[in-house]
Amino acid sequence: MTTSAPDRTALLPLVDLRAQYATIQAEVQAAIAQVLDGMQLILGPNVQAFEAEFAAYCEAPYAVGVGSGTEALALALRAAGIGPGDEVITVAHTFFADCEAIVQVGAEPVFVDVLPDTHTMDPDGLAAAITPRTRAVIPVHLYGQPADMEEILAIARRHGLFVLEDACQAHGARYRGRRVGTLGHAAAFSFYPGKNLGAYGDGGAVVTNDATLAERIRRLRDHGAVRKYEHYDIGSTGRLDEIQAAVLRVKLRHLDAWNARRAEAAAAYSEGLAGTEIATPALRADRTHVFHLYAVQAPRRDALRAYLAERGIATGMHYPIPCHLQPAAREWSAGPGSLPVTERLAAHTLSLPLFPEITDLQIARVVEAIRAFSEREA
Ligand SMILES: Cc1ncc(COP(=O)(O)O)c(C=O)c1O
């Protein structure tokens, strides 16, 4: 990619949003200026156009712009009628938002384990956790790789469960040819700035094939109103705003190219790290991985993280404390030891710098440092 000499002292961040902004600055500034000129800031033409464009991108009939990915999860559950007395099964090896959304609608989270290679929901764990109170399941397309949807959907169908895909990290990923977001009854997307499709603030969307569900979510995100002054539900201020929608419309045009570069960078990492103590991401032939994160398993994770930090290389951990071991989730947790795969993965997970603008030289610098760590300290 880049031909200039590698700067081995410059800080290499986990995600470089400034590098991306530099490539789209003029487009973004023009889009924001247009919103400010019109001063229609809430539920205007950009939200409407973005919803149509994002739905088309997902190859789904409906997308509803909301305030965040967490809001998308909670609104979809509420619109599906999930509430007090209901159990919702999800994974603990994820961001805490899935647990929060379930609790926010008054339901109870039930955590199941993940598969040791792909780190997504173990369908056998799902089947074993179903009780007469189970109403919904939230599989998470973690790091950008779709979960085992065929098996999950078959179990859900047998038990009449509502399937809500957490696609917050997986914009554009495909499972057996179909885009995530069209596989379950509904899907939640986050446009948090660092996501594959990120706004310049908070944002989210629910994507669905179900017209009634989409209409309910549209109402719930805007105070339950169908018309001004007429409130049919207890809703909230849960809308995507016009400035974020305008930014997202610009960025959506680049998403496929950005995802392709992410996959290329991930392949370069996996090739460079082969034969080291690091376990690189497992890929499945029937789905694409859009690499929101390049998360590896590192046996000596904390020492490696410190070693890389000393060399100016930032890393992340997604996620070091699983949801069922979070203090806020104590009430719904069977405690340590209850999800052995999740707990083992959490202790060794390490995310390496990955963003579409990362250069080959930056990747080589990370690979070199990890190889040096492996050889010197093994
Ligand atoms: C897997 C997952 N679910 C849910 C969320 C929540 O999204 P948001 O931060 O937009 O509320 C995120 C992102 O932070 C996420 O990564």
> What CATH number does residue 134 fall under?
3.40.640.10
CA dist 124 and 294 (Å) reads 26
Which residues fall within 8 angstroms of residue 347, CB to CB, at 6 or more apart? Answer: 301, 320
Assess if residue 6 is contained within a domain: no
pLDDT tens digits, 279-293:
999 999 999 999 999
User: Rounded to an integer, what distance in angstroms lies between the CA atom of residue 344 and that of residue 115?
Assistant: 11
pLDDT of residue 2: 44
**Is the domain of 81 the same as that of 223?**
yes
Q: Could you read off the pLDDT of 158-210 as tens digits, one per residue? A: 999 999 999 999 999 999 999 999 999 999 999 999 999 999 999 999 999 99
219 and 263 in a single domain? The answer is no
- Give the rounded distance of the alpha carbon of 171 from its chain centre: 8
Are both 170 and 293 inside the same structural domain?
A: no
CA dihedral 216, 221, 224, 229 (to 10 degrees): -130
Q: Which residue has the tokens 């993940």?
A: 114
132 and 270 together in one domain? no
What is the residue type of 220?
L
Determine, yes or no, domain membership for 2.
no
Is 169 near ligand 1, meaning CB less than 6 Å away? yes
How much is the pLDDT for 3? 43
Q: How far is the CA of 29 from the centre of ligand 1 (A)?
A: 26
Q: Assess whether pLDDT exceeds 80 at residue 1.
A: no
> Quick check: is 202 in a domain?
yes
Q: Under 8 Å CB-to-CB from 8, ≥6 apart: which residues?
A: 311, 312, 365
56 and 188 fall within a common domain: yes
**Average pLDDT of span 25-52:** 98
Pair (133, 223) in one structural domain: yes
| Spatial distance between the Cα atoms of 88 and 161, rounded to a whole number of angstroms | 9
Strands (DSSP E) found in the chain: 62-66, 87-91, 108-112, 134-138, 162-166, 174-175, 178-179, 186-190, 204-208, 225-227, 230-231, 294-297, 349-352
Q: What pLDDT does residue 10 have?
A: 85
Same domain, 45 and 149: yes
pLDDT interval class at 59 (50, 70, 90): very high
Residue 342, in any domain of the structure: yes
Nearest to 95 by CA among 316, 280, 321: 321
Range of the domain at 35: 22-112+119-252
Pocket test for ligand 1, best of 95, 138, 240, 319 (most atoms within 8 A of CB): 95
Give which of 320, 319, 337, 321 is closest to 329, Cα–Cα.
Answer: 321
Q: Please indicate, yes or no, if residue 89 is contained in any of the structural domains.
A: yes
288: domain CATH number?
A: 3.90.1150.10
Q: Which of 1-15, 92-106, 260-274, 285-299 has the lowest mean pLDDT?
A: 1-15
Residues 162, 167: Cα–Cα separation, whole Å? 15
Q: Which of 147, 192, 203 is nearest to 174 (CA)?
A: 147
Cα of 166 to ligand 1 centre, how many Å?
8
pLDDT tens for each residue of 150-163:
999 999 999 999 99
Same domain, 312 and 214: no
Query: Is the same domain home to 82 and 216?
Result: yes
170 and 200 inside one domain: yes
pTM, two decimal places: 0.97
12 falls within a domain: no
Q: Which atom of ligand 1 lies at the shortest distance from residue 94's CA?
A: 1
pLDDT of residue 50: 98
Ligand 1, atom 4: nearest CA belongs to which residue? Answer: 97
Per the listing, tokens 């290389």 go with 313
Q: What is the mean pLDDT of residues 11-23?
A: 97
- Please say which residue of 252, 270, 301 terminates a domain: 252
Whether residue 207 sits in one domain with residue 102: yes
Residue that is last in its domain, among 190, 221, 252: 252
97 within ligand 1 shell (Cβ under 6 A): yes
Same domain, 234 and 315: no
Domains of the chain: total: 2
Instruction: Report the alpha-carbon distance of residue 121 to residue 123 in Å, rounded.
Output: 6
The pLDDT of residue 4 is: 52
Ligand 1 within 6 A of CB of 95:
yes
pLDDT (average), residues 271-276: 97
* pLDDT score for 7: 61
Among residues 237, 252, 267, which one ends one of the domains? 252
* Domain contains 197: yes
- Residue 90 Cβ < 6 Å to ligand 1: no
